[in-house]
Amino acid sequence: MNGPGTTLLRRELDSLRHRIQDWTVTRWGARAEPFEPLDTGPAPSRGDVAYALVLRLAELSRAAGSTAPPNTVPPRLGDHALADQIGVLADELLAAPGVEAVAIEALDAVVRSRSALDGTAIPADVAALLTR
């Protein structure tokens, strides 16, 4: 059975995938909203923010016991492939046996990244869980 963190993580990953699946290279290249938690340098592009999320999802997936080899770093693919790369890593994380242990950290990364990517607010139920 999934706890509230994993349930919300699944929902927010699905939401993110739906929002970015058809983005053009131009849209990926646009500047992201201000976003301090991801260290991507000054005025990152949306692609930079998405790739930082790719790295975080990979790290959390390994921590949750996925079958990814240790010390592997997902390559920086072209912006056109970022939505698919996030989707693959999301599926890997959600399938990992210890996902519940990292669900809150992953949820935080996903909603903050989505806010930086498209300016949407963090949903109230997620914000409440993150501030517990």
Interval 7-25: pLDDT, tens: 999 999 999 999 999 999 9
- pLDDT at site 38: 55
pTM (two decimals): 0.91
Task: Please check the confidence at residue 35 and state whether its pLDDT lies above 60.
Answer: no
Assigned token pair, 19: 């929002």
Q: What is the dihedral of CA 12, 18, 23, 29, to 10 degrees?
A: 0
Q: Which amino acid is at 65?
A: G
Which stretch of DSSP H or E encloses residue 111? helix 99-118
Query: What confidence score (pLDDT) does residue 105 get?
Result: 97
What are the residue boundaries of the structural domains of the chain, listed by start? 4-33+41-130
pLDDT in tens, 55-105: 999 999 999 999 888 888 999 999 999 999 999 999 999 999 999 999 999
79-105 burial by CB neighbour count: b if 16+ within 10 A, else e? beebbebbbebbebbbebeebbebbbb
